[in-house]
Structures are given as C-alpha cells and as structure tokens.
Structure 1
C-alpha cells in the first residue's frame, strides 16, 4: 500500500473518535480545533444528544463548555451512536474505549472488542485506525488486528493502516498535556507508523516519538504508570520507616530530591484512579500470554517489584487505620469521617479510590463511617456506597481522615468537631497549626509523630488519674 502523504495532509480529514469520555471528547475537540471534521461516537444516547445540542457532559475541562457548542455550530464536530456510520465516512478512526480489570484483577476487553467489531463492520480501504486506550502488550497487533480483519474482510498493512499511540494525559488537564507531552506512536508496519505520525502532526503541536512497533508503544504506557506505582510504594515504605523511628519523611524526601537523580514521590493513604492501580496488572495479567503455552507461567514469575508495589499501596489503608488506633484506641462504634471519596483532588471521579479501602478497614473494626466530598451530594454519596455526614453530627466524630486533597479542604473548618481527637492528613495537604489550635492531634503518613502522640496521650491520662 502506497502512502499519498500530500493528499492526506492537504485535504481536511474526517475523523471518527470512538468513545467520548473524559479523554475521548477532549481529543475530538482538539482535532476539530485544527480544522478537521470530527464525528464522535458513543453508545450513550443522552451523551450524544447533549453534545449535538452543544452541551458537554465532561466538567473537568473548562474549555469544553465553550468549544463544544462553537465547533458544533461551525460544523467541525458532531456526535452519533452509530460507529458504523461514522467509520464509513472517516479517513482516520481513533479509538479511546476503556479496558478495565475486574475484582480479581483480570483484564476485561469486552468494550473495546465490541467497538472494534463495529469499526470493522464499516471499515473502508485506506483508513487509518489508531488505538489510544492503554492496552496489554500485543493487544493491537494480535487481538484487535484479528477482530478488525475478521469483521472487515480487509488485511491490516495491505488494505488499511493500523497503529497504536497511548493517551498520556490526565483528567482535568487534557489540553495542557496534549501540548506538553510528546506523542508516542507505533504502527504494525512502517507505512502505518508514517501515516499515524503524519496525522498527529496535523492535529497536535507536541513532539512525535516513533516506536518500532505497536507492541513497543503499548509497553511505553505500562512502563510510565507502573513506575509511578512502584515509586509511590517506595515512598510509602519510607513513610512507615519514618514513623517507626520518629522521623519526618516529607522533609527527608524533599531534601533527597534536591539531588538530581532522586525523584521520590509523595507517600499517602493509597493510590487510586483509572491508571496507576490498574495498568500494572496489564503487565503480569496479560490475557494474551495465556494463548501461548509456557509464556503465562514465565510471566507469573517476572515483575516482582510491580506486584509488591500493588500490595504495599493497597495496604496503606490498613496502615492508616492502625495509626488512628494508636491515638484513639479501639475504633469499635467510634465515628470516623472520610474527607473526599474521589481518587484525587479536584476531580469528580472515584475510580479505584482509596476511600473504598479505608472504609472497608474501618468497617472491619465496626467503626461508624461517614463521608464528605465537595463534588458529590448526599444522594450521590449514597449511590456510591457511602453515608454522608448528617447535619449536626459533627460532635460525634472521633477522627477525621483526609483521603482526597480537594482544594476546598485545605482550610477545612474543624471547629464544629468538638469531640474529634485526631485528624490524619492522608495527602499532606492540611495546615498542622490550624488543627492543633483546634485541640486535635495532627498526623500525616510518615511524619514520625505516632510515638510522640501516644506518649502524650499516656501523660494526659496519667495526669487525669492523679487529679
């Protein structure tokens, strides 16, 4: 198949973006901003109807509120529930449909498989198909390629182009990240790689990095996210060591990171989100390995650090509750408030949030668990499985855990919590002086004050006994 680069770049493209979630919709808008005609595809009829009416369902990206209606009016963007109809018209198809793990950490490709079959049903010769969803290594070149070829009766590398380019952006800063981070691209062959690079140069302003294959490009994203998980686990182990030896891990890490080869992350009560706690499992739970005799067994014995990191980071919830118990004693029938159920600050998203693990650890001790989140109302919290703190119940709270560092919590008013003994700052985001001024103990993961607090409580109890 010969590439006609001139015509591909010079004429406006029709691009089908399959999946209009927190990443897919900003990508569609990014392409439309560059003068391309974009058809967004989503299975949710309400999402499609709202977008065609100029209303964005994604609130984290402020630019969408103005760009979506503007681009709809200008004819550069439209939305549909018919992936097949969009693919029929498209020269480029970009797929950003989620792949997740289940409760047993098994990779589930059902959604992206369905999307791929729909694409294959309408795929035209000469079309470029790019997957941006984070995937286990080999998924594009083997599994998804096979689905596309079977449904389209076309051959990848001969009748259509196939490439992989991982999304490398964060919810709430997608447009910024698209400008700042290099775009990693790999095709199933040289022609597919070149065509994908040509496309991205027409819609992005960032550097393009060409990889040798789709497998290598998939590997890049898994390395990125697993590195962060392992790094956070190391920081959390440092924090536990600091608490044991009455050291301040935050001060120590800050000093260590002034050395240019040290990049230690921040410890905390756990790791949440769509990426960091999920994608390591793509490395050591790759479903494609099971199709190759012997490879699954070999993979199971590899990558010991990512496996341990997952255990360490998920175990921080239990460690956090143990720290509380060192201050307040048994938590049986004690009321504890979780501040924030989102997986990170200032996002309305709860994927794999550490709040789940904290709540489970507290309930195991028969504590009474309440939750607050500035991004969710009482009914939404209930739907998510949490109990909102009723008005007037502030004086029943024994302990508060900052799970999520929403900016609204940085100056949280603790004065109504008259019986609260301790505030555990799980994200090192609160002002210690304000909390101690309210008569409460301040703890953070790795601040080394646990023993000091325990001794202080013992001294207070002794004074009360003597008097």
Structure 2
C-alpha cells in the first residue's frame, strides 16, 4: 500500500475537511495523491481557492500539495486508503450524535474495494469503530473485514491555534484490526509524522486512550474551577494561590476557566454514554462535567453581585463581553461556553454587547442567534474579558476604564491582567 501511494498509483482520501481533516489532507498531499472530501460545498469551494474556512492555514500551506478538493462522493471511487476526520458532536441531551460518522461510513462503503484501508480519526467511545462504523462499511460495500479490507483507528491530536506542536510534531497513536493492518497504517502515517507513531494493541485501546486524554484535562480544570468558587467565597485570589502552589515541583499547572470547544467540553460525554450503556454511572467524570458546565452561571451571578454592590440595577446596565470563540487566537465558536455566559447574563435582563476579532459574525448569528459587533461601543457598566486572544493581552486598566461609565467593573476570566484594586475600578478574576 505505502509504495503504491508513494508512486501515486493509488490515492488516499480524507473525509471531513475541518480543523482536523484539512491539515491531515495537506500533509499527506505532500507525499501522495489525495482526494479531500467534504459534504459542505461552500467549504470545498473555499479550499479550491486555497482559503481555509477555519483561518488556521495560509495559502502557502497549500503549496506543493497534490490534492483535489471535492463534494462529489463519486470522486472517492479511485481511493484505496480512507481517513475519516468528521465531527463527533453530542445532541441537546448530551448524547453522542453519530450521524456524521455514520454518513461517512456509508459513503466509503459505497466505494470500498478489496484491498482498501479505512482509518478513523474522529474521537469516539471505545468500541464505536468496530461496533457502529464497521457494520455500515460491510453493509454498503458487501465486503468483509479481514478477507477484503482492513480497518484502523488513529486518534487525532491536533491542537487548534498551536503553532509549536503541529500535526507532524505530535506522536501519532495507530491501531488496526490485525497485525498487517497495524504495520501498514503505521507506515503510512510515519511518512508524514516526524514525531513517530505508537502502535496500540487494539482499536478499542486506541479509542479509549484518546477519549481519556480529554477526560483527564476536563477533570483537572473542573478541580481548578471548584477551587475558584471556594476561594471566591473566602475572598482569596485563586491566581495567587495557584502561583504559590506551583512552586512545588509536582504541582500540575492547570487554571480555572470556561470549558468549551469540541474536545474537552464534548468528548467526556462519549465515555459517559458508553459507561451508562454498560450499567455503570461514573461519579468522578460526571462531577467534573457538572462543575465545568456550571461556570457560566457562576460568572454571571458574580457580575450581578458586583453590579449590586455598586448600586447598579442589572436590568438597566450594559455589559461588553470580549471574546466568543472557545479558545484564544482561533475562529472556532463550536460549543462556546462564552455563549452560555451571554445567555446567563440575559436572564438578568442585562444588555450584552459582544466583540471578537476572530469569530465570524454570520456564524455567530447562525449558531447562537447573537449579534457580533465590529468594535466596542462606550458607556459600559462592566467589561468581561472571556477569551485570551493576543490582541487583548496588551490592554491595560486605562483602556477598560475608557469604555465604561462611573464605577466600572472588569471581569478577567483568563487572568490576563494585574490590575491594582482601586475605588474607581472593581477588578475580579477567576
């Protein structure tokens, strides 16, 4: 397989061209002939113009790539090595939504041929690849695993916005349905991953390893958030506590904050779902999720308290929220907990304005039915810095005071600033 791909006698296909799929497709396209498939025709048209809808890659990143972007599934007919990188969201009840994964499996099944490989990268619960995806591949292709084609799982580890730990510099976990599959899949990925590959003993182990990476981070942040709530009641600055504790060599440097996005804020629900299917109700994972999901309401309540302390009626106030994306320096607004914070503020009839230098106003309006302003206005009663974009890190107290009325309030959710407490500016941070 590897030699055929290198000689470009066979094609590699990547299904799903978002934050995960596009970098993978372009990396493979430096070595092989690649078909990049996405069901979003508008996204495909942008990629054909060398425009990344996620604003993570530049036109130079497309240079030298032997790739055809398409929304036509017929263009997958000549591919022999398929990489699936579609989203794995949850529904409104926090139940895994496998529809994108199922549709991708059906699409591949229709073009699957003897000797082909299918590798999934989407984050799932252990067993999903073999129990939910494989039957669709076999049903739509009429082929049988092992006899006719190979199956693998190689969890994505892309960190959006990270310019240091890029795709090729992060060790890649690979797995397959048998030893031959593992060897071939490892060889294919090793051709683009400078950091090397790690072969997991089974597909389920690789799936489990991926999901607990994000569960662990979720739990560590939930502890920091719970500590922030406790220390706030004590009148202690959480950031100062963490600074002092970090002087010990084995203290883990996690910080409190809003936990959104499509990894930490979503993936734990996949493991929760599978565990409940097996009759076990997880205690620790559940607790961490509850704490992190409660933080928008906690912050909103804190602001209302500060407004009342300054004798301001929340229903007659105007508040600026700076940042809506789920993390700094990216355009991704999926599962943004800042949006939840805005909704919590609106419950108090607060007039909320939102700005973000990265987010798309159209996407914000479509996803959250909220209006994104181009620039901040004036005469705000409070400002909440919710995302640590680079543009916000150089701002100072004078700038924030210029945006606000008398008795201004600044909430710094990312701990970006060191502001001297003064009568004219009430400053609070997580």
TM-score above 0.5, yes or no: yes
Q: Which residue of 1 aligns with 2:291?
A: 312
- Secondary structure at 1:71's aligned position in 2? coil
Deviations 1:416-443 (A, max 9, x none): 323352101011113414xx57931111
The reply to whether residue 331 of structure 1 matches residue 314 of structure 2 is yes
Alignment of 1:284-433 (within 5 A): 284-286=272-274, 296=277, 298-299=279-280, 301=281, 303-329=282-308, 331-376=314-359, 381-383=364-366, 384-388=368-372, 393-395=377-379, 397-412=380-395, 413-414=399-400, 415-419=402-406, 421-433=408-420
Q: Following the alignment from structure 1 to structure 2, what is the Cα–Cα distance between the partners of residues 390 and 211?
A: 48
| Bigger Rg, structure 1 or 2 | 1
Q: How many matched pairs?
A: 420
Deviations 1:91-119 (A, max 9, x none): 31101011110111011111111111110
Q: Following the alignment from structure 1 to structure 2, what is the Cα–Cα distance between the partners of residues 389 and 241?
A: 35
Question: Which structure has greater helix proportion?
Answer: 1
Of stretches 94-103 and 243-252 in structure 1, the one that deviates more from structure 2 is: 243-252
Q: Following the alignment from structure 2 to structure 1, what is the Cα–Cα distance between the partners of residues 153 and 122?
A: 9
Distance 1:390 1:149, change over 3 A: closer
Q: Which residue of 2 aligns with 1:444?
A: 429
Deviations 1:193-218 (A, max 9, x none): 11211111122212211111111101
Which of 270, 278, 281 aligns to 2:269? It is: 281
Q: Following the alignment from structure 2 to structure 1, what is the Cα–Cα distance between the partners of residues 374 and 113?
A: 57
Deviations 1:284-339 (A, max 9, x none): 113xx7xxxxx72613x2x2111111110111112112222332215233222111
Deviations 1:122-163 (A, max 9, x none): 111111110001112101111111110111111112211100
Distance 1:390 1:140, change over 3 A: closer
Tell me, yes or no, if the aligned pair for 2:333 and 2:364 is still in contact at 8 Å. Answer: no
Q: Following the alignment from structure 1 to structure 2, what is the Cα–Cα distance between the partners of residues 335 and 311?
A: 29
Q: Which residue of 2 aligns with 1:28?
A: 25
Tell me, yes or no, if the aligned pair for 1:314 and 1:357 is still in contact at 8 Å. Answer: no
Tell me, yes or no, if the aligned pair for 1:51 and 1:78 is still in contact at 8 Å. Answer: no
Tell me, yes or no, if the aligned pair for 1:157 and 1:191 is still in contact at 8 Å. Answer: no
Distance 1:119 1:174, change over 3 A: farther
Alignment of 1:108-123 (within 5 A): 108-123=97-112
Q: Which residue of 2 aligns with 1:450?
A: none
Comparing both chains, which one has the higher relative contact order based on Cα–Cα distances under 8 Å and sequence gaps of 6 or more? Answer: 1
Tell me, yes or no, if the aligned pair for 2:384 and 2:411 is still in contact at 8 Å. Answer: yes
Tell me, yes or no, if the aligned pair for 1:26 and 1:175 is still in contact at 8 Å. Answer: no
Distance 1:191 1:380, change over 3 A: closer
For the aligned residue pairs, the C-alpha RMSD in angstroms reads 2.4
Tell me, yes or no, if the aligned pair for 1:235 and 1:265 is still in contact at 8 Å. Answer: yes
Residue 247 of structure 1: how far off its partner (Å):
2.4
Which of 32, 39, 45 aligns to 2:41? It is: 45
Which of 120, 123, 126 aligns to 2:115? It is: 126
Q: Following the alignment from structure 1 to structure 2, what is the Cα–Cα distance between the partners of residues 14 and 121?
A: 16
Deviations 1:384-438 (A, max 9, x none): 422446989511x2111111111112234221323352101011113414xx579
Q: Which residue of 2 aligns with 1:224?
A: 213
Runs of 5+ consecutive residues of structure 1 not aligned to the other structure: 290-294, 446-467
Which of 149, 153, 158 aligns to 1:164? It is: 153
The reply to whether residue 253 of structure 1 matches residue 242 of structure 2 is yes
Which of 47, 58, 67 aligns to 2:61? It is: 67
Distance 1:194 1:378, change over 3 A: closer
Runs of 5+ consecutive residues of structure 2 not aligned to the other structure: none
Distance 1:438 1:40, change over 3 A: farther
Normalised by the length of structure 2, the TM-score is 0.91
